[in-house]
Chain A
Amino acid sequence: MNATAPLLEVRDLSVAFKGGAIQAVDGVDLAIGAGETLAVVGESGSGKSVTSLAVLRLFGRDDGAVARGRILWRGEDLLPMPEATLRRYRGREIAIIFQDPGASLNPVFPIGEQIAEVLRRHNGTPKRAARAQALDLLRDVGIADPERRIDSYPHQLSGGMRQRVMIAIALACAPKLLIADEPTTALDVTIQAQILRLLKALQARTGMGLLFITHDLELVADIADRIAVMYAGQVVETGPAAEVLARPAHPYTRALLECRPHHDADGVVRFAPIPGAPPRGIFPHGCRFAPRCALAEEACRASAIPLAAAAERHETRCRRWEVLA
């Protein structure tokens, strides 16, 4: 395997629920390399979380999820793998953290034991060594007074500290890729800044890839190398984060940026809501954003729009992107 090949490559991934009745993700391509941060951005229902869950096949039994396409982990397809084989990758090679750390931690065990359990199960670390390593991990993620905190129960910790514990658990087996699904959405901005700084520092040290799922475009500017904007189950724009944010080549990306309060040419504060609502589950023909797009014309609705290059490494799923520039 050569050094420049991506760690994770998602090709033409589609996920449907309830026996295909609800299409959540439709033909998504993503790639992420070692040490790289890719931000997947979108509103609720865009398919960003489903995409991340599909990588590790973390669907409930009752979801009736059907995934198609390829999920290549260092060249190996995870999608057709039996559950028992996939389990070897979960946590050890690819770890995931979620928005609500309270729901991911077991309320009846001290946090130290929960970290140690991961080490014992995945690495077979003996009990005493696992506790010592758990202590190191708590220190690494910036828990103050780890000797005392190691025996705390989740409810005794603040939201910010619980998220640090989740990161410690995720990092226990030194994964090569960390998937972070809205990890700071429930936290105060000051704590969010601490967690982002921590993730960046850990990434710089370990060289892990970071797949960051978020709804917050402003946050993307701070952390991501590349960005993929999702709408109605598809990636509608992807490219270097700084460039996509400065020169969006898809009307949806542009509209999302303009939803945030901004000053117009006269210095007046403006809010520009996107008219209508995103489609859910069943998508319109042609461009899925067309019903809400000011630039849409007849041809946009006629047939599916492919991703096309707008600049080097910058792609957009829009026929009329040049009008935006």
Chain B
Amino acid sequence: MTSLVSLRDVSRHFPLPRRRLFTRPVLRAVQQVSFDVAPGEVVGLVGESGSGKSTLGRVALGLLPATEGAVLFEGQDLGALRPAQMRAMRRHMQMVFQDPFASLNPRRSVGGAIAEVLALHGLPHGEADVGAALARVGLEAADMKRRPRQFSGGQRQRIAIARALAVRPRFLVADEPVSALDVSVQAGILKLLQELRGELGLAMLFISHDLTVVEAMADRVLVLYLGRVMEAGPAREIFRAPRHPYTAALLASAPGSKRPEMVLQGEIPSPASPPSGCVFRTRCPFALPDCAREVPPLRSVAPGHEKACIRDDLAL
């Protein structure tokens, strides 16, 4: 399988204010994450707030440089690109954010916002081109003269998608694209993303806290906790037969879950001082003394399915 996007042992740290003279604390938002996205593939990213989902999404696009490791797009290391090369690369990699109210300039007409992106990448940006971009997301050419505030939340998210896809990217990071919307509006946006994916052969990193939505959208799923991958594998397997206790706990916590009850105690620790060994052990109902010793490596449990847990004796 040739990959479109490839992350190799990627870490992203953020420096924190110095508290003592000789130590500089860091927040380890993402720790040694590796994964690939094939052309046209949708990879789902799940985990609680503070697990590093959004940071990882930005690193995968080169919006945030990796502190360690490399991000490759079609084999090219984003970290080695000069700024002009990076700008050219952006045409192939776009992003849709959670809040369509914040991601659109209120003073700019919708058509203007889309024409700007097209022009920036040296693409034709006449009314016909902008109209086509809007038509792709179910809006009308007449809408291009209107400003974002004249649209509902769902329509604004369509505009944000139209703008991201206007330049025909091959990779899209969608960070909680439907979380701010009503259920009936969510369904429309998800359906649209699924159709566009088929139409444009778009690969996606789909970030969401809503497990039902990820199950429906993703081919493969990465489960993050405190910046580390706990489990990665085909969506079907992850949701039907999770192999990591954290995945099992997340699934059991989802509203309406039919899985055996498994309420996690406490909250996710601070990424500024993660536990030693397995980062999940402080909340894991199955933790052993050995779990504190070293970080469990990801190991294969089935073809294309890995977990970072030393226990194989659990019935989850």
Task: List A residues at the B interface (Cβ < 8 Å).
Answer: 43-44, 144, 158, 160-161, 188-194, 197, 215-219, 221-222, 255-256, 258-261, 269, 271-274, 277
What CA separation (Å) do A192 and B191 show in the bound complex? 27
- The reply to whether B213 and A259 contact each other, CB–CB distance below 8 Å, is no
- The reply to whether A256 and B256 contact each other, CB–CB distance below 8 Å, is no
- The reply to whether B216 and A190 contact each other, CB–CB distance below 8 Å, is no
Residue of A nearest to B48 (CB): A188
- The reply to whether B48 and A190 contact each other, CB–CB distance below 8 Å, is yes
What CA separation (Å) do A215 and B212 show in the bound complex? 15
Task: List B residues at the A interface (Cβ < 8 Å).
Answer: 48-49, 152, 182-188, 190-191, 194, 209, 211-213, 215-217, 249-250, 252-256, 263-264, 266-268
10 nearest A-B residue pairs (beta carbon): A261-B216, A218-B256, A273-B188, A219-B255, A218-B255, A273-B187, A193-B253, A259-B187, A271-B187, A274-B184
- The reply to whether A261 and B215 contact each other, CB–CB distance below 8 Å, is yes
- The reply to whether B187 and A272 contact each other, CB–CB distance below 8 Å, is yes
Expressed in whole angstroms, the minimum distance between the Cβ of B237 and any Cβ of chain A is 16
What CA separation (Å) do A194 and B152 show in the bound complex? 34
Which of chain B's residues have a CB closer than 8 A to the CB of A221?
255-256
Knowing A221-B256, A261-B213, A271-B194 touch, does A193 contact B263 (C-beta < 8 A)?
yes
What CA separation (Å) do A217 and B216 show in the bound complex? 18
Expressed in whole angstroms, the minimum distance between the Cβ of A271 and any Cβ of chain B is 4
What CA separation (Å) do A149 and B256 show in the bound complex? 32
- The reply to whether A222 and B186 contact each other, CB–CB distance below 8 Å, is no
Residue of B nearest to A198 (CB): B263
Which of chain A's residues have a CB closer than 8 A to the CB of B217?
261
Expressed in whole angstroms, the minimum distance between the Cβ of B258 and any Cβ of chain A is 10
What CA separation (Å) do A215 and B185 show in the bound complex? 13
Majority-rule SS of A interface residues: helix
Which of chain B's residues have a CB closer than 8 A to the CB of A215?
182-183
Which residue in B152, B184, B209 is a CB contact (below 8 Å) of A255? B184
Expressed in whole angstroms, the minimum distance between the Cβ of B122 and any Cβ of chain A is 35
What CA separation (Å) do A194 and B213 show in the bound complex? 22
Residue of B nearest to A258 (CB): B187
Expressed in whole angstroms, the minimum distance between the Cβ of B123 and any Cβ of chain A is 30
Which of chain A's residues have a CB closer than 8 A to the CB of B185?
273
- The reply to whether B184 and A256 contact each other, CB–CB distance below 8 Å, is yes
Expressed in whole angstroms, the minimum distance between the Cβ of B132 and any Cβ of chain A is 23
Which residue in B182, B250, B254, B263 is a CB contact (below 8 Å) of A197? B263
The 7 listed contacts between A and B (C-beta, < 8 Å) are A43-B184, A190-B264, A255-B184, A269-B194, A271-B194, A273-B185, A273-B191
Expressed in whole angstroms, the minimum distance between the Cβ of B151 and any Cβ of chain A is 11
Which of chain B's residues have a CB closer than 8 A to the CB of A273?
184-185, 187-188, 191
- The reply to whether B253 and A271 contact each other, CB–CB distance below 8 Å, is no
Most buried by A among B186, B191, B249, B255: B255
Most buried by B among A144, A188, A216, A218: A188
- The reply to whether B187 and A188 contact each other, CB–CB distance below 8 Å, is no
Which of chain A's residues have a CB closer than 8 A to the CB of B212?
218, 260-261
Expressed in whole angstroms, the minimum distance between the Cβ of A146 and any Cβ of chain B is 14
What CA separation (Å) do A260 and B217 show in the bound complex? 12
What CA separation (Å) do A189 and B212 show in the bound complex? 12
Expressed in whole angstroms, the minimum distance between the Cβ of A48 and any Cβ of chain B is 12
Which of chain B's residues have a CB closer than 8 A to the CB of A272?
187
Expressed in whole angstroms, the minimum distance between the Cβ of B248 and any Cβ of chain A is 12
